[in-house]
Amino acid sequence: MIKEIYAPIPSRSFSSGLHKGFIKSFLMAAGLFILIQNCISQETRDIKISGSDSLKIEELIGKMSLEEKIGQLTLFASGWDVTGPSMNPDHQQLIREGKVGAILNANTIDYITALQKMAVSESRLKIPLIFGYDVIHGYRTIFPIPLGQAASWDLNAIEKAEQIAAMEASAEGINWTFAPMVDIARDPRWGRVSEGAGEDTWLGSRIATARVRGFQGNGYSDGRHILACAKHFAAYGAPVAGRDYNVVDMSPLSLYEYYLPPYKACIDAGAASVMTSFNEINGTPSTSNHWLLTDLLRKEWGFRGFIVTDYTAINELVAHGVASDLKSAAELAFNAGVDLDMEGSTFLDHLPGLLKEQKVSIDQIDEAVRRILRAKIQLGLFDDPYRFCNRQRARTDIMTRESLDFARKLVSESCVLLKNDNHTLPVSPDVKTLAVIGPLADAGEEMLGNWTALGEWEKCTTLLEGIRNRCGKSVKVVYEKGCNISDKEVSGIEAAVKLAREADYVILALGESEEMSGEAASRSDIDLPGIQNQLADAVIRTGKPVAVVLFNGRPLAISHLNDIAPAILETWFGGTQAGNGITDILFGDVNPSGKITMSFPRNTGQIPVFYNYKNTGRPPRPEEPDEKYVSRYLDCPNSPLYPFGFGLSYTSFRYSGIQAVVAGDSIRISANVSNTGDRDGEETVQLYIQDKVGSITRPVKELKGFKKLMIRKGEMVNVSFTLTAGDLSFYHPDLKKYWEPGEFNAFVGGSSAEVISAPFKL
């Protein structure tokens, strides 16, 4: 590892010309040394700054007062009032004094330009600001929520969505996003499952990599890419009881095996920043966890970017009970490894005193400042502070026809067909009158989902609009709301039933409001809210063909709906082109190919339920389903309603001929996949492995690969995967990862529950 070679230089220690000359000579030599190292060190190449840029950083640090240094470690949030974006006047003055490093939630080119001008025209050292924003699933063109995108199993499409998001955001002044969220989650009561990739570590790690690459590209020289931020570090997706901000309690083995790898994937992909999580692990909140932020993230993983807290997370160390006041909270967080304090002002208020008391050092402060300045140099802000405020690009690069067409395609890729009895879907071309019913049918406000950046719901296509766009005058499309999302009032059901009886076919749009998932949106009961089940009962009892379209930000517990509905299409919250993309599926213009990446429970009491569980000493036995003294429920199967990897198609696929051939430490696993239906379709072929006997217990199966293939009707393809011994490795009690020789099972299939298998030894 190439360490920083500069000795810290106190900002006010040298005043004579002799000392200044010595510093200049020293820094020039140091810059030359770094330039040479840049040519030979992969780690330094990853930083993507030159020796002259490193010299510039050190020159700046040498000129900065203590207050200006701490200002670089301070992030304040912008607001919004009736006249547009606004900023606390005190914070504006701090910007003018060079005592703010970054701004959160600023938007519009004029406003961001004005704030940047305060920093680079009025401050003493003219250090530019970084502007961050929650660009989670699009900026102005809004794509399906991340959990929906994950259901596409299309890594290239996910990466492209982030490229478009970065292109749009960077045109209007944003150069840093608080994404990707890569928290593995097994509890759908937690509302923020909508922002992640689901329950699987292997898949989640690859999606994390794709998203970082999409945001950051190969650098920022084109002005169309922005800094990514891996969050929430760490294990934020496993709060006790699924309640947001709650504690996390797990074994070190579970932490290493299931929850840490996606963050590591982000670091390996070059993520520029990492955000601390609100939760505690082992009694220590992440924001004050030295082992997590310094020993693991920086020393073991080699992370070279900067660490930012979540919103006021340092202040909240007092409520956690590990700090007696904000001063001690600042001390804990800074010594743990935090570089940038989001909105809390604890560094600005207390680091000078902590330095005077020798509870933090100037070396630490200088190193944190280096990380922030390095990011600003990477972004090119010192060369052109306004390079991300591009009016021309704002006119040409935002909500383009190409971006909207891609968004529509991604909507249809993200939809998952959960049920389709009697080929209820697609809608028959013989339908003359189509009833669209339900509280989500024409709800433009709900289509974007949560974390919608600058997406405008007025520009969204609702389901009703998408259907009318598709049908034109060839089909009579009639609409009735039936009830509101959370209604307890049943008076609208009668009109909905009357409309259904008069139609040839019914589309029933049900689900959550966008506010029911996301941050601070945990639910203790995740069935359909309000009286929507009653509405479904009444409409389906008419006997008309009914296809349910679900809008939601999490897996729902919909056993009752599954029992009564002929067809169910999961669509999540699809964003700007939701209605058009969903309609493409409903009418068969696109064959559904989505597969869920988070299991749907049968009921809330079954949570958490996930595919890669471990057997107990008393696992249920299929041959004795009524055996009492095994690990099972009395009133419900152990299995989920819809398992991880599940999703139907308008065609059908059959798996056969699986083989597992070992050659040295390489394993080639192959199987035949046949399209046995009457139309072409895409199938996501999934590979799972089981380590039958280990030194510690192992899951019943683990995802190790997938391939998404277009298979023509009547066609059979042979699909193969190659693994190495390293792919079979797992973490042991010493928290080291290695594999053990022995017997294994390979599984290939269309979901985690529907597979064919072959044994092998290695």
| pLDDT level of residue 397 (50, 70, 90 thresholds) | very high
Nearest of 265, 211, 201 to residue 237 by alpha carbon: 201
Number of H helices, E strands in the chain: 23, 27
Question: Looking at residue 741, which CATH number applies to its domain?
Answer: 2.60.40.10
Q: If pLDDT is split at 50, 70 and 90, which confidence band does 82 have?
A: low
Confidence of residue 79 (pLDDT cuts 50, 70, 90): confident
Point out which residues pair with 132 in neighbouring strands: 104, 176
Backbone phi, psi, residue 436, to 5°:
-110, 120
Q: What is the pLDDT of residue 30?
A: 41
The reply to whether 668 falls in a domain is yes
**Whole domain around residue 511: which residue ranges?**
407-606
Query: Does residue 748 lie in a domain region?
Result: yes
Give the pLDDT score at 81.
Answer: 67
Binning pLDDT at 50, 70 and 90, where does residue 625 land?
confident
The distance in angstroms from the start CA to the end CA of the chain is 35
Q: Please give the helix or strand (H or E) that residue 84 lies within, else none.
A: strand 84-86
Q: Is residue 513 part of a domain?
A: yes
Stated length of the chain: 762
Kindly tell me if the per-residue pLDDT of 24 is higher than 60: no
Cβ pair 546, 508 in contact under 8 A:
yes
What's the pLDDT band for 7 if we cut at 50, 70, 90? very low
- Tokens for 567? 């067809």
At 713-749, the pLDDT tens digits run 999 999 999 999 999 999 999 999 999 999 999 999 9
Residues 543 and 421 in one domain: yes
Distances (CA, A) of 551 to 160, 415, 556, 626: 23, 10, 10, 37
In whole angstroms, give the CA distance from residue 138 to residue 573. Answer: 13
Q: Which letter does DSSP use for residue 444 in this model? A: G
CA torsion through residues 717, 599, 275, 80, sign: positive
pLDDT of residue 50: 82
User: pLDDT by residue (tens digit) across 570-587?
Assistant: 999 999 999 999 999 999
- Residue 712, in any domain of the structure: yes
Residue 348's contacts (CB-CB under 8 Å, 6 or more residues apart) are 70, 71, 73, 74, 94, 99, 341
Phi, psi (deg, nearest 5) at residue 554: -155, 165
Q: Supply φ then ψ for residue 330, to 5 degrees.
A: -60, -40
- Catalytic (active site) residue 200: no
pLDDT score, position 83: 66
Residue 392 has pLDDT above 90, yes or no: yes
Residues 6 or more apart whose Cβ sits within 8 Å of residue 570 = 151, 415, 416, 417, 418, 550, 552, 594, 596
Question: In the listed set 606, 630, 664, which residue is the last one of a domain according to the structure?
Answer: 606
Instruction: Please check whether residues 693 and 599 belong to one and the same domain.
Output: no
Where does a domain end: 579, 606, 633? 606
- In this prediction, residue 38 carries a pLDDT of 39
Instruction: Considering the candidates 310, 397, 487, 584, report the single residue annotated as catalytic.
Output: 310
For residue 263, the SS3 value is helix
Task: Evaluate whether residue 350 is within a structural domain.
Answer: no
The pLDDT confidence band at residue 19, using thresholds 50, 70 and 90, is very low
DSSP character at residue 173: T
Phi, psi of 28 (to 5 degrees): -65, -45
Alpha helices in 519-587 (DSSP H): 532-540, 559-564, 578-586
**Residue-averaged pLDDT of the chain:** 93
Which CATH number do you get for residue 463? Answer: 3.40.50.1700
Tokens of 134: 């929650």
Domain annotation covers residue 594: yes
| Overall number of domains in the chain | 2
Q: Is the pLDDT of residue 512 over 60?
A: yes
**Same domain for 583 and 446:** yes
Q: Residue 342 corresponds to which tokens in the numbers above?
A: 């989001």
Residue 46 has pLDDT above 60, yes or no: no
563 assigned to some structural domain? yes
**Span 430-484, pLDDT tens digits:** 999 999 999 999 999 999 999 999 999 999 999 999 999 999 999 999 999 999 9
CA 582 vs. chain centroid, Å, equals: 22
- My answer on whether 592 and 657 are in the same domain is no
**Whether residues 435 and 569 fall in one domain:** yes
Which pLDDT tens digit goes with each residue over 299-345?
Answer: 999 999 999 999 999 999 999 999 999 999 999 999 999 999 999 99
Q: How many CA atoms lie within 13 A of 369 on its CB side?
A: 32
Convert the pLDDT of each residue in 161-172 to its tens digit: 999 999 999 999
Q: Are residues 596 and 675 in the same domain?
A: no
Q: Is residue 395 part of a domain?
A: no
Per-residue pLDDT band for 139 (boundaries 50, 70, 90) equals very high
Q: What is the DSSP letter of 8?
A: P
- Whole-model pTM? 0.93
